[in-house]
Amino acid sequence: MTAIVTDVHYRMSLAIIRDLADNGIRTVVCEYDEFPCPVGFYSSKISAHYTLNSGNKSDALLKLCGKIYRESGEKPVLFPVGAKTLELVSINSKKFAEVSYFLIPSPYQFDLFNDKSRVAAIAKDMDIAIPREYKLSDSFSFPVVVKPTCGEKAGLSAADRYVIAENSEELEQAYSRFENITEDLPVIQEYLTGGGAGCSVLCRDGEILAHICHRRVREYPVSGGPSSCCEKIMSPSLLPSVRKMVSETKYSGIAMFEFKKDSNGEYRLLEVNPRVWGTYPLTRACGSNFTYLWFLAAAGADLPEYSGGTHVKMAYYPSDLAAALCYLKHGKLRKFLSAISDFADPRVKNGLSERGDRRPYRMYLKSLFKR
């Protein structure tokens, strides 16, 4: 069978491409013409690549799916990587179902899990611990975290989807900025000082088919940015909360539930990402075969037993080296030395570069120098 992977300018798409190809799936990638030189086009694992007209994204992607369907005689399995493409396919699911298979959230589920306020409300009803939330008029102690209800849909990068406000002036600036961008009231939460973790799941109609948990080791920017280094963990305390929300919403597709520890060491649910998330390559690095299960589930095929993969640590470079320098600058010598040690440790996986498929990583580095 054939798989179509979209939005391959995202670095996370490489793990999907490589997993599918290594399982014998003919892998076709595509990107809209507004993104020149996407990293996925340079992978040695792909069978073909297509540049799509961004003027009418839905029609362009539908035509590609139809073309692959006609040529191969069977529906391809569609993997919408970016949030906007995922939403587009979800809204037009009846049309896309005529020419492809997919396993994604419904428009209701997608909007629900993208809305931090609604996620918090559901969590409260289920007695799932969340950070305290405030209104702008409330009295509270600083620092606080300010977030848009859905920064991804607003086109914000991971590092731009939050602000840690240390005082009233920073709070008002961040609140006004996010309100103007999204035309919705931002979320104000207490700032949690503990470590971050995630529970990522593959679901169908409210049933979890596979899951993987990870711990955030380092981040860049170092004050709450996306993970620059993470590791797979066994964390049975996270799964019950996730299972409740998945079952209650009858969720289908993949999602990553993000948690952080409070001052007492207890995990609290921060948000849900109903799409391919930043640390998705860990699913490949640990050998879980998560993407192949997603492919089989989308196609309606029988699923093999899920092993969950092995313990592994994974880093993004050069982000993790940049994080190391920031930790050193802030006097966190232990964090700095840990990052340097991991960089020299061959057991720590590179989230982007793999033997036999190095060119995407080189192109990624080249694109960073052009910015």
The pLDDT tens digits of the residues spanning 271-293 come to 999 999 999 999 999 999 999 99
Report d(CA 249, CA 114) in Å as an integer.
13
The pLDDT value given to residue 371: 60
Helix (H) or strand (E) holding 366: helix 359-370
**Which has the higher per-residue pLDDT, 254 or 263?**
254
Residue % of the chain over a pLDDT of 90: 76
Mean pLDDT in residue range 299-303: 95
Instruction: Point out the least confidently predicted range of 80-94, 141-155, 253-267, 347-361.
Output: 141-155
C-alpha dihedral sign at 38, 39, 42, 46 = negative
Reported confidence tier of residue 332, pLDDT bands at 50, 70, 90: very high
Q: How much is the pLDDT for 137? A: 82
pLDDT in tens, 197-242: 999 999 999 999 999 999 999 999 887 778 999 999 988 889 999 9
Q: Give how far Cα 315 sits from Cα of 7, 277, 285, 331, 343, Å.
A: 22, 15, 10, 22, 8
Q: What is the pLDDT of residue 184?
A: 82
CA distance 194 to 278: 20
Token code pair at residue 359? 């060119």
How far from 225 is each of 153, 220, 303, CA to CA, in Å?
18, 5, 35
Radius of gyration of the chain (CA): 20
> What's the whole-number average pLDDT of the chain?
93
| pLDDT reading at 194 higher than 80 | yes
What integer pLDDT is reported at residue 282 of this predicted model? 97
Cα gap 148→59, rounded to integer Å: 30
pLDDT of residue 340: 97
User: What digits encode the pLDDT tens for the residues 96-111?
Assistant: 999 999 999 999 999 9
Lowest mean pLDDT among 10-19, 49-58, 188-197, 312-321: 188-197
Q: What is the distance between the alpha carbons of residues 37 and 34, in angstroms, rounded to a whole number? A: 10
pLDDT of 139 above 90: no
Q: Evaluate the omega torsion of the peptide bond into residue 274 and state whether it is cis, within 30 degrees of 0.
A: no
Is 89 exposed, middle or buried (CB count within 10 Å of its CB: 0-12, 13-18, 19+)?
Answer: buried
Give Cβ neighbours of residue 255 (< 8 Å, ≥ 6 apart).
Answer: 105, 113, 200, 201, 203, 246, 272, 273, 274, 275
Q: Which two tokens mark 122?
A: 């559901």
Per-residue pLDDT of 143-177, as tens digits, reads 898 988 777 666 777 667 788 888 889 888 988 89
Give the tens place of pLDDT for each residue, 29-72. Answer: 999 999 999 999 999 999 999 999 999 999 999 999 999 999 99
Distance CA 267, CA 123 (A): 13
Q: Are 113 and 272 in contact (CB under 8 A)?
A: yes
Predicted pLDDT of residue 333:
96
| Cα(368)–Cα(144) distance, integer angstroms | 31
299-306 average pLDDT score = 93
- Mean pLDDT across 120-138: 91
Provide the 10 A C-beta neighbour count for residue 207: 14
**The predicted structure's pLDDT at residue 164:** 86
